[in-house]
Structure 1
């Protein structure tokens, strides 16, 4: 794989910090104290995703957070202020919740792998963000919950991502009780991939990102799209779809190169589209 020059860019006064290291884009939620997903922060995330979607240089995206909380979800204060609107806030609620849904869908549609790096509490739409990412790695002190039911607001949109990441009955347990689960339970539920000590979190995430970034970008793009599409289909239809995808993948340039390299006992040389 060709060497990529690493550089770093930060926006210390913004809601979202941006850092690029070679093929890895790190986006850090910086909306203290709770890193709530305000309209402004969600729009900033979507703008980054739109900008990077066609990038040939970025192979992996990491979503992290500054401070002691990963994200407390929607900005309830921001939403409550609009109850005084003529429509009792309906238009603003629709805008906020639709924007969050669009953000989560965009994560699954990106050609890049997206890794959530969690150190602290991820609650409600913050937990939805974790569940929407392709991989999730957390510290042993991280916690997760969907507590809407505790305040009369069932976490219906977080439910969509949660029910696709965690096992169904465990997802319902979180949604119905609103109780907070620890990192070990989150891993048992299927919400996170790995639990690591806090001091090694960045190191482990960087290693995952580097390993993924070293793979064929063509194969990763094809595979990620296929993973989410087949998951929405009945079994027989999923196989029919996957057969077509794999045949086309076999005919792709990188598969020809990768198989040839494997048989020739050499390292493959991936080419950009």
Structure 2
């Protein structure tokens, strides 16, 4: 499998809870056994065969106080590409009563940011949540649907061939039809015209927010019954802190070049 992945330029995503204890407790194997050893073997194999991979860590309240330790542990495994995703209140998360508060989401991500800076890992370890926000500051374009001004480009296909506009909104309102009867480009066009993706960044509270430039309202699946993103204050805290070093530069190509020259100058010095 690793040779196949390498020879065909696959990038593999690995879900990891962040530490051995957290992994074994929250993500046991099918028979209740510890799953961390299997994940570690997989990472070791991918590294041995030089297969590109990144690690996805889903954040919930039980992890909020352990951000720095989680970061240090994952990086110690040789992982260089990390992404942190907030818990979605759906499926097994609801059944097992997992939660994630806005305060804990913001606190966790700020602690990740501070640990990344403290260790001097810029240019060595790529935290996608930080890298993409910085890129969006200068380019005005998001690489993710979550922080795009309009979403609907991240389609999902069920095993029976049904296409939906979002992998967190699999219901009749977001059904696009059967893949056998569609081509992907028209399906994406249809998805981006649905109200959920158009309205996400148009909510009133977003228009006066200083971090809208990189947040754009977040994920529609996080919007509560009152019409607010339940992680709003967490995103605000995180983005406010990580954007502070960029605010002195204009949001254009010249600003990006000047910022990069400044950063590279400080690192080379």
TM-score computed with the length of structure 1 as normaliser? 0.28
Structure in which a larger fraction of residues adopt strand: 1
TM-score computed with the length of structure 2 as normaliser? 0.29
